Structure 1
């Protein structure tokens, strides 16, 4: 489903990724681990098309994602890839459902359809009583579940998560980890997760360790 070949990336004279090859199958939960500075987040940003490699290619469903115009790439990213970050990145002035709906509306979908999908996701994630709450009225765990719902609003092929439980207490972290596996089991969702959390890495179907810009074998 996802394939990356010979990914290289440098910032100035500093090489960060030094020839990464990986393949992710549909329905996998894959953890990317490694020490700080190993290139984990850089790799995740390239897989998510938020950054371009200096060399190499990324394919999602056999589509060369960087072999298209910037406009088409942005549209592809919006519909095919969902993102969950450590600090939620929810807009404070909007309610839970409004935050979830944003990628669907950006994609030009009909508002009523997007709202129905958002309500269904919030219900699935145990947040039906928090629909109209703003982020400041929600716990950290609830905010992160809203971020997961937002990532899923366009039914993306792939969800990429960068330290998704890094800002949560242990109880909420466990609940978030279990949620990922529930979504994989129930709807076949694919996750690639950068994490320092050893428990989450151990739960994953596969662990990819980066060291000095390369996959450790």
Structure 2
């Protein structure tokens, strides 16, 4: 469902990715690990179409994602890819439910349907009694589960997570990791996760290690 071929990326004279080939199947939980500066986040941003490669192609569901206009690419990203970041990126003035449904509203979906899905997701993630609370009223673990619900609101093919448990204590990190596998089992969700957390890395179906911009054999 995700295929990247010969991905190269440099920033000025500094090469960051040096020919990355990878394939990820539907329903896989794959972690990307490596030392700081190995290119993990750069690769994740390219897979998520937040950045463009200097060379190579990315296919999601057999679609060449960069072979489309900027407007169409933005619409594709909104519909097909969900993102979870280390610091949640929740809007402080909105409730949990309002934060969750924003990508659906941006995508032009029916307000009522989006709200119903948001309510369903928050209930599935154990936040049914917290959906009308603002981020400042939620714990770090609860905020990150809201971020996961937001990533899932448009039923994306793929969820990309960049150090999703990096700002959580050990208890909440374990709960978040277990949530990823629960969602994979229950709905077949596909996850690609950049992490320094060794326990999450070893739980994954597959661990990809980057070193000096290449996949370590």
Q: Same fold (TM over 0.5)?
A: yes
What is the match of residue 163 of structure 2?
Answer: 163
What is the match of residue 186 of structure 1?
Answer: 186
CA distance in 1, matches of 2:143, 2:6: 36
CA shift, 1:62, in A, is 0.5
Unaligned stretches of 5+ residues in structure 2: none
CA shift, 1:207, in A, is 0.2
Task: Report 1:1-217 matches (<5 A).
Answer: 1-217=1-217
Give the TM-score taking structure 2 as reference length.
Answer: 1.00
Structural RMSD (CA): 0.2
CA shift, 1:160, in A, is 0.1
CA distance in 2, matches of 1:197, 1:171: 13
Q: Deviations over 1:111-158 (max 9, x none)?
A: 100000000000000000001000000000000000000000000000
CA shift, 1:204, in A, is 0.1
Q: Deviations over 1:76-125 (max 9, x none)?
A: 00000000000000000000000000000000001100000000000000
Give the secondary-structure state (helix, strand or coil) at the position aligned to 1:75. Answer: helix
CA shift, 1:27, in A, is 0.1
CA shift, 1:173, in A, is 0.1
CA distance in 1, matches of 2:206, 2:38: 18
CA shift, 1:187, in A, is 0.1
After TM superposition, the runs of 4+ consecutive aligned structure 1 residues lying more than 6 A away are: none
CA distance in 1, matches of 2:33, 2:192: 11
CA shift, 1:57, in A, is 0.1
CA shift, 1:52, in A, is 0.2
Give the secondary-structure state (helix, strand or coil) at the position aligned to 1:128. Answer: coil
CA distance in 1, matches of 2:112, 2:62: 32
Give the secondary-structure state (helix, strand or coil) at the position aligned to 1:129. Answer: coil
CA distance in 2, matches of 1:3, 1:102: 28
CA distance in 2, matches of 1:147, 1:187: 18
CA distance in 1, matches of 2:61, 2:109: 22
How many residues end up aligned between the 2 structures? 217
